[in-house]
Amino acid sequence: MAVNLPPVADLLPVAGVRVGTSCAGVKQTVRDDLVVMTFAPGTRVAGVFTQSAFKAAPVIVCQRRLDGVAPRAFVINSGNANAATGERGVEDAERCCTRVAERLSVPRESVLPFSTGVIGVRLPVEKLERGIDAAVQRLADDWTPATRAIMTTDTGPKAVSRRVTIDGVDVHVTGMAKGAGMIKPDMATMLAYVATDAAVDPGCLDRMIRDSNASGFSRISIDGDTSTNDSFMLVATGAKNVAIRSTRDRGYRALKRAIGEVATELAQRIVRDGEGATKFVTVTVSGARSSREALAVAYTIAESPLVKTAMFASDPNWGRFCMAIGRAGVVGLDPARVSLHLDRVCVADSGMIAPSYTEAQGAEVMARDEFCVRVDLGRGRAEETVWTCDFSYDYVKINAEYRT
Amino acid sequence: MAVNLPPVADLLPVAGVRVGTSCAGVKQTVRDDLVVMTFAPGTRVAGVFTQSAFKAAPVIVCQRRLDGVAPRAFVINSGNANAATGERGVEDAERCCTRVAERLSVPRESVLPFSTGVIGVRLPVEKLERGIDAAVQRLADDWTPATRAIMTTDTGPKAVSRRVTIDGVDVHVTGMAKGAGMIKPDMATMLAYVATDAAVDPGCLDRMIRDSNASGFSRISIDGDTSTNDSFMLVATGAKNVAIRSTRDRGYRALKRAIGEVATELAQRIVRDGEGATKFVTVTVSGARSSREALAVAYTIAESPLVKTAMFASDPNWGRFCMAIGRAGVVGLDPARVSLHLDRVCVADSGMIAPSYTEAQGAEVMARDEFCVRVDLGRGRAEETVWTCDFSYDYVKINAEYRT
């Protein structure tokens, strides 16, 4: 199902990070569904969370904690989102944190909880407590088992590493993510964790997470729906002898680039594994007056059911692109200045089908499993890119049968 | 496919309105695809059009004309939208108007054009000219053939009449509409025509069209996509001896109510015939701080692919409703005050599944072919209702195969 989703290969360990998994049996008992990640003392953590007004209990707990004690562990479960569970949901999340804290002998406030799965159902805390005990027993350097344990409707794990050399020291950046539906910007993925073994000061870490979120997770949309549980965590353990103290430090740009690459790669893999996806589509809008305007048009195209079904059908339906561009809310847009390319094929120019264009050209591009939709609005210099997938029978099937 | 779409029954003729159809063969030659409507001298017309920046050529022509000469005729074709066709599209629309004007001996500026169908393809004007000649030969009181000739992917015609007695005179209101996809507010239907034989002063007519649009066509969404061609026209011929000169006139409220009922009934029928629809769903949001806020939540629910696929599956998935409510952009929403009913079943209260609720209750409601989703935000007194349908395999099928 997924569109060229690369297998997880050769993940680099991150010094100061240990990962353990177990099968708590939250929803099924076939594979691991619980992860405990631990961090060396002195680790710094930054987080970005869903914009939903219906924040899940673990998100509420994480946001309360991030201003307090330095995090020493994450506890992550799949199969149940612990969302729309009210004050009890918060208590349940706290109980999981307490168990981790006891087993690791760290303060409860240093443990951050994350959940993904069904909404509105209470967490089976006893099962999770037993799972936590087992996962703590299995803490190791290898992230690979965890990349699978955080999956829900994902067809495969998503993880990637980068290595950068800073001041002669090998610094590792490794990230993993899950998410395949309910995916939309303002935080796009359900859960993503990126860690490095460099030491990074809080100001630099904040900037790195904001920028890598903006260029990665906030540039994807599968169905325009935003989860209650979205969380992206950036972890810097400082276990290697490299410190980034200011944005002017020599290593800042190199590390920021590596983290940005990992975030973008994870974001794209989430789209490649979009529910029912058969195409991976890059939508680039240029000639806009502002980044905001470019994004508005790009997202309207990326989220239009009529455009997405045309993508599924490999149908170069210029009318649907017009429709989406037209309803994106760009005030004063002059259709006579709008052009559309599918990869290198010019479909429309000056708001009309280009004289040179043939349907066969457009259909040939859209039959590819990856292609680019390029729209120029002809009214400014701003340009933005988002990634999306098509809308297939299987999207309906997956989401109509999710709980049945 | 359609959900309880009533057959068109006993349409009342509107004095001063004549309707003729023909098969111009725009896209196929099996059924009529061209309509000419003519209006008695003195007829007043008001119109509401798509908010798209990519307005189709006929919309551009209509909007130019509505401030000028009193309209004497409409020419409507299905099979080709004459949208994204640039200046030539405007010329093509003008040529159709010219032909109608010649045949009827009225000024060209008194003829308004409307098109619906494929976007980005030039209108076959010669075919339309021959079709116009034939339709003018067949002008009659009966709207019935026209209700079919304006259809595109519609599975059946949509038309309804109301009779009101004002000052002892029988006044008729008859309307027809087409539209089954690319349906979203800010004008919802592709094409809708409502006429009465009362005389209505321009100020009253404007108010009637604004109100009936707001409560009818602007309260529906099938896929959130807005057409380039949406047009809703309200016609008052004055052929009967009843005149509405001010909003204080005795007949004003009665006529406005009849027109509003016709508009709402047509709007709901468009949803009943939504592409691939298997459910007709009323979404009511109450307890909002403003009408705008209530509508934002109602539309987010009505347009969420995850909610719509759950509707298709008859799955009372509280999590997806939470998700949609949460992402609707209501600042400061307190989830602990939100409740959800499916018809009379209380699914959630205080932001959580209600203690009394069982999945079987919710599933029983959602298995109905018509049901109501009622959300209370618990923060104000505003309430709004929109109508929508579910998202089925057939929506994908219809839209993936539309041109192939």
B53–A333 CB contact, under 8 Å? yes
Are A183 and A158 contacting, i.e. CB atoms less than 8 angstroms apart?
Answer: no
Question: In this predicted structure, what is the pLDDT of residue A186?
Answer: 33
Alpha-carbon distance B223 to nearest alpha carbon in chain A (angstroms): 6
Res. B189: pLDDT tops 70? no
* Strand bridging mode A220-221 / A382-389: parallel
Q: Which of B88, B120, B404 sits opposite A313 (nearest CB)?
A: B404
Q: Judge whether A350 is closer than 8 Å to chain B, CB to CB.
A: yes
Q: What stretches of B48-124 show up as alpha helix (H) in DSSP?
A: 57-65, 86-104
B351–A403 CB contact, under 8 Å? no
Question: In this predicted structure, what is the pLDDT of residue B313?
Answer: 87
Please tell me which residue of chain B has the smallest CA distance to A300: B225
Alpha-carbon distance B380 to nearest alpha carbon in chain A (angstroms): 17
Question: In this predicted structure, what is the pLDDT of residue A184?
Answer: 41
Q: Domain B280-400's class?
A: alpha beta
Span B239-247, average pLDDT: 93
Span B25-38, average pLDDT: 93
Distance CA B152, CA A325 (A): 22
Q: Which residues of chain B does A225 touch, with a Cβ-Cβ cutoff of 8 Å?
A: 304-306, 320, 323-324, 327
Alpha-carbon distance A343 to nearest alpha carbon in chain B (angstroms): 20
B181–A325 CB contact, under 8 Å? no
Q: Which residues of chain B does A346 touch, with a Cβ-Cβ cutoff of 8 Å?
A: none
Q: What is the pLDDT of residues B322-333, one digit of tens each?
A: 888 988 989 999
Q: What is the pLDDT of residues A277-309, one digit of tens each?
A: 899 999 999 999 999 999 999 999 998 888 888
Candidates A21, A147, A174, A189; catalytic one: A189
Please tell me which residue of chain B has the smallest CA distance to A184: B327
Alpha-carbon distance B377 to nearest alpha carbon in chain A (angstroms): 12
pLDDT band at B7 (very low <50, low <70, confident <90, very high): very high
Q: Which of B119, B315, B401 sits opposite A323 (nearest CB)?
A: B119
Q: What is the pLDDT of residues B345-402, one digit of tens each?
A: 999 999 889 999 999 999 999 999 999 999 999 999 999 999 999 988 877 777 776 5
Q: Judge whether A301 is closer than 8 Å to chain B, CB to CB.
A: no
Q: Which residues of chain A does B325 touch, with a Cβ-Cβ cutoff of 8 Å?
A: 53-54
Res. B181: pLDDT tops 80? no
- Pull the structure tokens for residue A398: 């997956």
Hey, where are the domains in chain B?
Answer: 17-272, 280-400
Smallest Cα–Cα separation from B164: which of B74, B246, B249?
Answer: B249
Q: Which residues of chain B does A301 touch, with a Cβ-Cβ cutoff of 8 Å?
A: none
**Close Cβ partners of B300 (under 8 Å, ≥ 6 residues apart):** B324, B325, B327, B328, B329
Q: Judge whether B156 is closer than 8 Å to chain A, CB to CB.
A: no
Question: In this predicted structure, what is the pLDDT of residue B182?
Answer: 53
Give pLDDT < 70 ranges for chain A.
Answer: 1, 180-190, 222-227, 401-404
Candidates B147, B189, B264, B300; catalytic one: B189
DSSP A304-316: -HHHHHHHHTT--
Q: What is the pLDDT of residues B244-260, one digit of tens each?
A: 999 999 899 999 999 99
Alpha-carbon distance B308 to nearest alpha carbon in chain A (angstroms): 9
Are A192 and A231 contacting, i.e. CB atoms less than 8 angstroms apart?
Answer: yes
A396–B399 CB contact, under 8 Å? no
B120–A353 CB contact, under 8 Å? yes
Are A205 and A173 contacting, i.e. CB atoms less than 8 angstroms apart?
Answer: no
A350–B182 CB contact, under 8 Å? no
Q: Judge whether B328 is closer than 8 Å to chain A, CB to CB.
A: yes
Question: In this predicted structure, what is the pLDDT of residue A10?
Answer: 87
B315–A402 CB contact, under 8 Å? yes
Alpha-carbon distance B333 to nearest alpha carbon in chain A (angstroms): 6
ipTM over 0.90: no
* Strand bridging mode A370-376 / A339-342: antiparallel
How many CA atoms lie within 13 Å of A310's alpha carbon, on the beta-carbon side? 24
Span B264-285, average pLDDT: 91
Question: In this predicted structure, what is the pLDDT of residue A180?
Answer: 64
Q: Judge whether B184 is closer than 8 Å to chain A, CB to CB.
A: yes
Q: What is the pLDDT of residues B122-178, one digit of tens each?
A: 999 999 999 999 999 999 999 999 999 999 878 899 999 999 999 999 999 999 999
B224–A85 CB contact, under 8 Å? no
- Between positions 33 and 62 of A, the ones with CB within 8 A of B are 50-55
B315–A225 CB contact, under 8 Å? no
- Between positions 107 and 146 of A, the ones with CB within 8 A of B are 118-121
Q: Which of A120, A181, A393 sits opposite B322 (nearest CB)?
A: A120
Are B327 and A225 contacting, i.e. CB atoms less than 8 angstroms apart?
Answer: yes
Alpha-carbon distance B114 to nearest alpha carbon in chain A (angstroms): 17
Are A79 and A27 contacting, i.e. CB atoms less than 8 angstroms apart?
Answer: yes
Active-site annotation holds for A189: yes
How many CA atoms lie within 13 Å of B205's alpha carbon, on the beta-carbon side? 23
Question: In this predicted structure, what is the pLDDT of residue B186?
Answer: 33
Helix or strand or coil: residue B177?
strand
Q: Judge whether B223 is closer than 8 Å to chain A, CB to CB.
A: yes
Res. B404: pLDDT tops 80? no
Question: In this predicted structure, what is the pLDDT of residue A224?
Answer: 62
Are B17 and B39 contacting, i.e. CB atoms less than 8 angstroms apart?
Answer: yes
Q: At what angle do helices B393-400 and A305-312 cross, to 10 degrees?
A: 70
pLDDT cut 70: percent of chain B above it = 94
**Close Cβ partners of B358 (under 8 Å, ≥ 6 residues apart):** none
Burial of B344 (0-12, 13-18, 19+ CB in 10 A): exposed
Q: What is the pLDDT of residues B79-131, one digit of tens each?
A: 998 988 889 999 999 999 999 999 999 999 999 999 998 888 899 999 999 99
CATH code assigned to B17-272: 3.60.70.12
